[in-house]
Structure 1
Amino acid sequence: MKLFKSYLILLFFLFAHILNSQDRYITRSGIIKFDSRIESIVPIKAVNNSVSAIFNPSTREIAVLSFIRGFNFENSLMEEHFNENYAESDQYPKAFFKGTIQNFSISKSKKYFFDGLIFFHGVEKKITNLPLYVENKKDQISINGVFSLLVSDFNIKIPKIVRKKIPNKIYVELNLILNKPNK
């Protein structure tokens, strides 16, 4: 828990540092989706439509924050199991990633690569060369990407009884539309 609080403080200072920059872009309505991409009786997929993010093009720094309980499932029982048994969202209420978009140029809409850290379920994982498509539209920047994560990398235990129904690999889709704040 102390480690988590330390990361929240670090994230706060990162947000504060980015906020001091003049050309920052923010959103509080970003979208993160995840799914297992396997055929099963009940598909494992969820959406969070209230993701916060801040991006500073001049420093290339980005920070994305998601409340775990913000993920909505089609099946309410699955959502309850996710929060209580797997994500343990009472103990680990937030997930975030922070880092830099490599070789970013505000004048070029194209695929870039993200290097940084993902923090989830009390575990920090280094991420390198994560592909993100970044598009600049006047006072708006969109950042989109799809990538996979291993559940086991975040110390999430899947009981043997459901291991065949819940894969170790999940696919994450990130959709952010960030705007310049009103002055």
Structure 2
Amino acid sequence: MKMNKIIILLLLFNKLISFNEASNQIIARQGQVSFFSYTSVENIEAKNNQVLSIIDLSKKEIAISMLMNAFEFKKSLMHEHFNESYIESDLHPKATFKGHIIDFDPSLKVQTRIVKGIVVIRNISKEIEVKTEIQNINGKYSIAGNFDLSVKDFEIKIPPLLAPNIAKMIAVKFRFEYEPYEK
């Protein structure tokens, strides 16, 4: 009889710990990431509204994952070239980011913080630091920012003939709106 009570207490304790961990996590299921490439010939712009992100408020960690072929372009030929020739999304279907929000205070309403971590594109890892604006309105968090990525850092091969048509630095913008994570 005593053993059954101990087992029940252990199970309840385990559930309490799991619940507590989940309550410290927030999720954005439809975050937005866009990029812009300026050139003298033609600007290239794309948006992805199917980006997943999770923040662990207690650990101050953030993770982001997105499918590369979910970027939408104004021209279908740009979408095709992006996925087939440059990103090779059949070989490298997603990009990820894992990082830490420096000096993050979940209780503040508005704060500007640096997010430091590793972005992985085409299976190539690069450490980055991004200045972000974080808002907490009645327990609903949003995070937004922008940064530049170098095409060269991710070994994206651009034929010499097309090199003038693609910028060497790509401007990236993001915005995520979070809600409590429920398993």
The residue number in structure 2 matching 1:51 is: 51
1:9 corresponds in structure 2 to none
SS in 1 for 2:78: helix
Q: Does 1:29 align with 2:24?
A: no
Gaps of 5+ in 1: 1-16
The one-letter amino acid paired with 2:112 is K
SS of the residue aligned with 2:178? strand
Could you say what the CA RMSD is over the residues aligned between the two structures, in angstroms?
Answer: 1.7
On the 8 A contact 2:147/2:172 being kept in 1, the answer is: yes
TM-score by length of 2: 0.85
Distance 1:102 1:21 in 2: 21
C-alpha distance after superposition, 1:40-77 (max 9, x if no partner): 33x20100000000001111000000000110100000
1:55-102, Cα deviation, whole Å (9 max, x unpaired): 011110000000001101000001000000000000000001011000
What's the CA shift for 1:182?
5.2
What letter is aligned with 1:55? I
Task: Kindly report structure 1 stretches of 4+ aligned residues shifted beyond 6 Å.
Answer: none
Structure 2: any 5+ residue segments left out of the alignment? 1-17
Which has the higher Rg, Structure 1 or Structure 2? 2
* One-letter amino acid matched to 1:161: L
Q: Secondary structure of 1:160's partner?
A: coil
Equivalence for 1:158: 158
2:62 is aligned to 62
Q: Following the alignment from structure 1 to structure 2, what is the Cα–Cα distance between the partners of residues 73 and 127?
A: 26
- State the one-letter code of the partner of 2:98: K
Partner of 1:179: 179
Counterpart CA distance in 2 for 1:141 and 1:38 is 35
In the superposition, the TM-score normalised over structure 1's length comes to 0.85
Partner AA of 1:72 in structure 2: E
Q: Which residue of 1 aligns with 2:97?
A: 97
- Residue 125 of structure 2 is matched in structure 1 by 124
* Post-superposition offset of 1:140: 1.2
CA contact (8 A) 2:22 2:181 kept: no
